[in-house]
């Protein structure tokens, strides 16, 4: 049985200025770790035998119909503009149209050097590959827009980072890999024909109802405002919200030094490279607005009436903070069981969060336990929760049908950092049991699951993960 992927490529038909044609670089001894059967069915992929798939998903063989390319983009990295980035360790094999009618990219990540590698080896080691597989699939199960993971394969080769590491390749699926930085590179170079072509392509692929560059900007704003509010509602910290990691499709993309909070604090940072806290948990809404402003600056370049475009783009960008706030409020109202809106809801929610920060309460477990004694047990001083609970219950009495807070607003399982690290350490030694267990439990994050109580537990002091790494 041969692996069959029904490719229907569109980006590879754009001019060569948009990418470099690049095949994956073969590896020594490919071996499958995991294949996502459910996602494969959605993509209309027919799996082959294990060795056939290992060859394809490690980059040793190119499936029929693929047109491998490395995409060009630039971007602001921690506020500093880098004029050329691009896929330095990834190859886009091509696109499929799924059973749901949606077009998606299939990309190999860690597939070897490309013209955009910037002296890097183009490879990935096992840890970040497994992290992205587990966390991206967990995000999908949480109902949050995200890239997904189709497969992971060992390469049988060693990758050198802080030391020798086993190599691996991730097969990533996205509704596209178009980023804010994809627009920035053509705007910065003054290549307006390419910028216009890209804008038209993005509208056709993602937002066919949008009219022109400013219509695209509005659509991206709306998608990002929704996405960031969803991140905040589950305690997710992206860790590296550079413009090259900001999808114009409104999906979570590029799971590098990402993490979910255990103990709640608004200034939480996990990324080892974010020394100034630019991408801290509480800064994510502001950074999303900043990133949108960079997209606006790029899109304006192609408009003849610059003055009118600047005025309209300013209006669009300036509307985003309030939109983010309203989306945030909607999400957090649901997390405390509210279906209606009252003026005091913001103060009620922030009052709980303030007590959680002061009381070192676990973010996920506190919200999941609201309405039970287990909620107050999350706080160093449980009495600090009691006053808030009294106000909360009074507010609930004004709800005709309050939500059950244990439903789709508050997961019981998240990819906790210490479990991810334990999974990676075991996998490096050849033990994938925890990887498969986490994948299975996190596929049902809102369900209570027998035998999985340990995966709800916050880390002990000696298990706390203080920093996460890009892994590049």
* Confidence at residue 131, expressed as pLDDT on a 0 to 100 scale: 97
* Confidence at residue 240, expressed as pLDDT on a 0 to 100 scale: 95
Identify the DSSP state of 163.
Answer: S
pTM of structure: 0.97
* Confidence at residue 464, expressed as pLDDT on a 0 to 100 scale: 85
The pLDDT tens digits of the residues spanning 384-425 come to 999 999 999 999 999 887 667 667 799 999 999 999 999 999
* Confidence at residue 400, expressed as pLDDT on a 0 to 100 scale: 82
Check: CB of residue 191 under 8 Å from CB of residue 17: yes
Taking the C-alpha atoms of residue 403 and residue 376, their distance in angstroms, rounded to an integer, is 20
CA 141 vs CA 112, 137, 260, 419, 444: distances in Å: 30, 6, 15, 18, 7
Can you tell me which residue has the tokens 């200034």? 267
Tokens of 321: 């903070």
For the chain (472 residues), the mean pLDDT of every run of 10, in chain order, is: 94 97 98 98 95 96 98 96 95 98 98 94 97 98 98 97 95 98 98 98 98 98 98 97 98 95 94 86 98 98 97 98 98 94 97 98 96 92 94 92 75 97 97 98 96 96 79 55
The DSSP code sequence of 37-97 is: HHHHHHTT-B---HHHHHHHHTTSS--TT---EEE---EEETTEEES----SSEEEEEEEE
3-state secondary structure of 6: coil
If one counts every other C-beta atom within 10 angstroms of the C-beta of residue 78, the result is 15
The pLDDT tens digits of the residues spanning 17-62 come to 999 999 999 999 999 999 999 999 999 999 989 999 999 999 999 9
Taking the C-alpha atoms of residue 65 and residue 41, their distance in angstroms, rounded to an integer, is 18
The neighbouring-strand residues paired with 271 are 468
Catalytic-residue membership of 244 = yes
Check: CB of residue 273 under 8 Å from CB of residue 312: no
3-state secondary structure of 274: coil
CA-nearest of 12, 4, 30 to 110 is 30
Q: How far apart are the first and last CA of the chain?
A: 35
Taking the C-alpha atoms of residue 287 and residue 227, their distance in angstroms, rounded to an integer, is 13
Identify the DSSP state of 459.
Answer: P
The one catalytic residue among 87, 105, 244, 262: 244
Q: With the CA atoms of 181, 186, 189 and 190 taken in that order, what torsion angle do they form, in degrees rounded to the nearest 10?
A: -140
Helices (H), 283-378: 284-300, 306-318, 320-335, 345-359, 363-369, 373-376
């Amino acid at each position: 049985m041969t692996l069959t992927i029904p490719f229907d490529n569109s980006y590879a038909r754009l001019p060569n200025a948009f990418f470099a044609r690049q095949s994956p670089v073969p590896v020594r001894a490919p071996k499958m770790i995991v294949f996502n059967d459910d996602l494969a069915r959605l993509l209309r992929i027919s799996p082959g035998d294990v060795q056939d798939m290992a060859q394809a998903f490690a980059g040793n063989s190119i499936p029929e119909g693929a047109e491998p390319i490395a995409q060009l983009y630039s971007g602001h990295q921690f506020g500093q503009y880098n004029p050329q980035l691009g896929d330095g360790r990834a190859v886009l094999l091509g696109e499929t149209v799924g059973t749901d009618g949606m077009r998606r990219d299939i990309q190999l990540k860690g597939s070897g050097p490309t013209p955009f590698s910037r002296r890097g080896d183009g490879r990935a080691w096992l840890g970040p590959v497994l992290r992205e597989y587990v966390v991206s699939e967990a995000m999908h199960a949480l109902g949050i827009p995200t890239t997904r993971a189709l497969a992971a394969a060992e390469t049988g080769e060693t990758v050198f980072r802080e030391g020798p590491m086993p190599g691996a390749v991730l097969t990533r699926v996205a509704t596209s890999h178009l980023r804010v930085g994809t627009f920035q590179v053509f705007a910065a170079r003054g290549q307006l024909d390419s910028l216009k072509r890209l804008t038209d392509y993005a509208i056709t692929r993602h937002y066919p109802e949008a009219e022109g560059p400013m219509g695209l900007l509005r659509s991206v704003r709306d998608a990002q405002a929704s996405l960031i509010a969803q991140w905040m509602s589950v305690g997710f910290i992206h860790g590296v919200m550079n413009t090259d990691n900001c999808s114009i499709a409104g999906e979570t993309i590029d799971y590098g030094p990402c993490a979910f909070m255990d103990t709640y604090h608004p200034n939480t940072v996990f990324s080892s490279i974010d020394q100034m806290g630019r991408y801290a948990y509480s800064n994510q809404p502001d950074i999303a607005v900043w990133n949108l402003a960079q997209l606006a600056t790029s899109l304006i370049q192609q408009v003849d009436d610059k003055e009118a475009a600047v005025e309209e783009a300013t209006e669009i960008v300036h509307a985003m903070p309030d939109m983010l706030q309203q989306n945030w409020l909607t999400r957090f109202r649901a997390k405390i069981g509210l279906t209606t809106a009252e003026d005091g809801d913001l103060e009620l929610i922030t009052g709980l969060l303030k007590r959680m920060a002061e009381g070192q309460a676990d973010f996920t477990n506190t919200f999941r336990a609201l309405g039970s004694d287990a909620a107050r047990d999350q706080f160093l001083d449980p009495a600090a929760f009691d006053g808030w609970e009294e106000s909360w219950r009074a507010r609930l009495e004004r709800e005709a049908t309050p939500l059950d807070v244990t439903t789709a607003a508050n997961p019981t399982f998240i990819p906790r950092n210490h479990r991810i690290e334990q999974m990676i350490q075991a996998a490096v030694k050849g033990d994938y049991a925890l990887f498969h267990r986490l994948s299975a439990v996190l596929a049902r994050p809102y369900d209570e699951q027998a035998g999985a109580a340990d995966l709800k537990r916050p880390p002990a002091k000696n298990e706390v993960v203080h920093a996460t790494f890009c892994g590049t």
